[in-house]
Structure 1
Amino acid sequence: MRLQYTPLSLLPLLPLLSLATAQPATTETPTPTATATLEPSWSWIRAVETPYYHSYLQSQPTQAAGAAHLAKNTNAGQFNVIDGQLVYNTGADKKPLYMNVEPRADDEQRKLQTWFNATKNEYGAFAFQGDALTWEADDFERPNTAAWYVCQEDKVFVNTGAYLDKTPEGCSDQTIHSYGGPVADV
């Protein structure tokens, strides 16, 4: 008796093989990041004093409406002062954001909240004096228009008083400055 050899075809098994080697599908939600290179006519804005030395102005989440923060350079925002508004460049295909300032409630208020919003700021005006970012309002005089606080969660506030005078607990006095280097370095 002679055995007859019949080769087996692997074609019917290919779908099973692909299942055994398939990787699970992953979907990642893209998160906006800061532009790696400074765009023309824009500036980085960063602190120059400890404990926030070379922490950069930005919103959190990045490039979205929300509180103003000083944080790591990896998500640094790009800014310009245009007609008294601090404008946040969120990208060529997106509308800009504007830094807004909380109106002062009374003479005793030491800090004013700041945040980024799609609407223009209606209280006070921003400017650069040299490279220092300043803010002033018509209804009161600040001893130092370049004085800022950075408080809990690295949030940025306007300091309504003098620099290093009566600093609220949990806050750090800062001045913040434009920086025109090609990248937001530390």
Structure 2
Amino acid sequence: MFSSVTLSILGALVLASGAAAQATAPQYGQCGGQGWTGATTCPSGWSCVVSNPYYSQCLPGAASSTPTSAPSGPSSTPGGSPTTTASAPGSLPTLASGNSFIRAVEDPNFHQYLRSEVINTAGDAVLGDYTTAAQFQIVDGQLIQMVPDGSKLYAVVEARSDPSVMKLKMSWSTTPASGDNAGTFMWSGDTVEWSIPTIQRPQLNAWLVCPDADGNKDVYINLGPYDYNTPPGCADETIHAYTGATPTP
């Protein structure tokens, strides 16, 4: 038989479990996933959206008190497009299967992460804070930013106007790169490289990070030269894949 003390403890545990299930998760907070024992209700006007079988998140939208059913099996299949986890102030993106974060590993941009200037939209490619890191794949020579809503952004490199131009700006487009804006992205170990038949580069993994007038750290292909010949205000960088569960500072 259970003692009165044991019954009291069991009752307290049941009440605590029920309270956790009934609590409201914060905006952009976790609200479900395999093994999740916390709150599963989102604030009014927010819904619990499945990112992968292990993580659901409160995102703006129609209110929902329970998370959408998680898919059975992996979040991606060979040749498919894994879903990414949305990032928001105060939270960290969770890396989806098959994706990589991309970051610089040297000062002055140590552990600054590749993304769009305006997060998850077409526009300039920049390095930003780890809390806003985007996720990527390289497929058929295209560097693809995997947007949380399931869409894709493609890296586009500006065409070289003449041989005197020694850096080419990179941006994100809703359509794949082609022609003079294409070239080929590839991994060399964990390093991102870029090449194009019309340009001979001393180093295929050389990049420049140059702040614009607003302080955004714009990303360029560096055609050379390097080190002491780096353009004023810019940093000569390499950028690398990082496949930890979440980005680190």
Q: Deviations over 1:32-60 (max 9, x none)?
A: 63662100000000000000000000002
Bigger Cα Rg = 1
> Which residue is 1:128 aligned to?
187
Secondary structure of the residue that 1:50 maps to in structure 2?
A: coil
Q: Distance in 2 between matches of 1:33 and 1:182?
A: 13
> Which residue is 2:173 aligned to?
117
- Asked if structure 2 preserves the Cα contact closer than 8 Å seen for 1:42 and 1:78, the reply is yes
The one-letter amino acid paired with 1:138 is P
- Of 135, 139, 157, which residue of structure 2 is paired with 1:101? 157
Q: Distance in 2 between matches of 1:90 and 1:149?
A: 24
Q: Distance in 1 between matches of 2:183 and 2:231?
A: 22
- Asked if structure 2 preserves the Cα contact closer than 8 Å seen for 1:147 and 1:162, the reply is no
Shift of 1:94: 3.1
1:183 lines up with 2:246 in the alignment: yes
- Of 77, 98, 112, which residue of structure 1 is paired with 2:134? 77
How many residue pairs align between the two structures?
158
> Which residue is 2:100 aligned to?
43
Q: Deviations over 1:90-109 (max 9, x none)?
A: 02x43200110001111111
- Of 33, 37, 40, which residue of structure 1 is paired with 2:87? 33
> Which residue is 2:110 aligned to?
53
Q: Distance in 2 between matches of 1:166 and 1:144?
A: 14
| Percent pairwise identity | 40
Q: Distance in 1 between matches of 2:209 and 2:235?
A: 5
The one-letter amino acid paired with 1:140 is I
Shift of 1:165: 5.2
Structure 1: 5+ residue stretches without partners:
1-26
Q: Distance in 1 between matches of 2:142 and 2:210?
A: 23
Normalised TM-score (structure 1):
0.80
Shift of 1:121: 1.4
The one-letter amino acid paired with 1:42 is N
Q: Distance in 2 between matches of 1:109 and 1:103?
A: 10
> Which residue is 1:65 aligned to?
122
Which structure exhibits the higher relative contact order, with contacts defined as CA atoms closer than 8 Å and separated by 6 or more residues?
1
> Which residue is 1:19 aligned to?
none
Q: Deviations over 1:101-158 (max 9, x none)?
A: 0011111111101101101112211001000000011101100010000001200000
- Of 166, 169, 173, which residue of structure 1 is paired with 2:232? 169
> Which residue is 1:24 aligned to?
none
The one-letter amino acid paired with 1:37 is T
- Provide the alpha-carbon RMSD of the alignment: 1.9
Structure 2: 5+ residue stretches without partners:
1-44, 46-59, 61-85
Secondary structure of the residue that 1:74 maps to in structure 2?
A: helix
- Of 196, 207, 213, which residue of structure 2 is paired with 1:148? 207
Q: Distance in 2 between matches of 1:52 and 1:108?
A: 27
